[in-house]
Amino acid sequence: MKSRTVTLLLMLPALLLLAAVFLYPMLRYGWLSLQASSVLTGLVPVPNGGANWGRLLDDARFWTDAGQTLRFALCSVILELLGGLALALLLHRPLRGRGALRALTLLPWALPTTVMALGWRWILNDPHGPLNAAIHSLGGSSYGFLSTPATTWFFVVLADVWKTMPFVALLLLAGLQTIPADLEEALRLEGASRFQILRRLTLPLLVPYLTLALLFRLAQALGVFDLIQVLTGGGPAGSTESLALYAYLNAMRFLDFGYASTVMLATFLLLLVSLGGGWLLLRRHGLERTTERAA
């Protein structure tokens, strides 16, 4: 009994700090989302009977941003998983200079997002960036990578993939290292091709790691903020604005804390729904796979 008290006391300080930083904000947003608290009220919260939530339902900008955030998250996570898998398979092979290769490929992930976002802004610059310089030298005319509303979002995805793919690769590399080499060897002796080994042995055993990477990256991508704020500022014409950036603008530019809280909570709910949906989908798919293999 006494040692139980001790373990609880050991955990208490960390848990209190976590509650203050993660739990309290969510409760506070819940309360603030039911108040008018903006310049109009002198930044003093006044209950407004759920008007913020009504406004959210009618807010075209919110729903556009929700769609754009989902598109960004799905595209970048899928590309990161595919690229990360390829990279992990490469880094797993016994190559010369593997340690250095791992460190160098890890570098984009270790740099601050704002640093790499501004770097990409220069690379995608119209007309002086290196990409446009290359187009020029091939005889083309410069392309507004960051000023064409229809395509800019894709280059934001590209920058995100560049930065986070190494992280996904490392997680998957961890999974690859748990696969016993003699299993692979046995399959090879049976005459299985590289692709067959990948499909029949490696991928099924990587499923837990792929799931972990998918859920983790999906949550982070749905909350994307700093990359977009620095790379495009949400533009051109709001075509890359994410929900988190919209919430930030509501709070810091429009000084509407009540509505900003509503947008934050709504973003959080969207995140929960997406993660839950993704997990269920994976689980059903995974179960089918297992039964398929058992049969």
Per CB under 8 A, contacts with another protein among 214-233 are 215-216, 219-220, 222-226, 229-230
Out of 39, 46, 82, 133, point to the residue binding another protein (CB under 8 A).
133
In terms of Cα–Cα distance, which of 166, 165, 174 is closest to 103? 166
Least Å from the CB of residue 135 to another protein = 13
Contact residues for 156 (Cβ-Cβ < 8 A; gap 6+): 72, 227, 228, 231, 232, 240
Tokens matching residue 272: 């929960």
Residues 239-258 that bind another protein (CB under 8 A): 244, 247-248, 251-252, 257
Out of 52, 246, 264, 274, point to the residue binding another protein (CB under 8 A).
264
Between 223 and 286, CB nearer to another protein? 223
Q: Taking contact as CB under 8 A, which single stretch among the options 24-32, 179-187, 188-196, 280-288 is the one that binds another protein?
A: 24-32
Out of 47, 50, 82, 128, point to the residue binding another protein (CB under 8 A).
128
- Position 120 contacts another protein (CB under 8 A): yes
**N residues, the chain:** 295
* Omega cis (within 30) before 45: no
Least Å from the CB of residue 138 to another protein = 14
C-alpha 270/C-alpha 266 separation (Å) is 6
Question: In terms of C-beta density within 10 A (0-12 exposed, 13-18 middle, 19 or more buried), how is residue 243 classed?
Answer: buried
Contact residues for 231 (Cβ-Cβ < 8 A; gap 6+): 117, 118, 120, 121, 146, 156, 159, 240
Residues 87-116 that bind another protein (CB under 8 A): 87, 90, 95, 99, 101-108, 110-116
- Position 207 contacts another protein (CB under 8 A): no
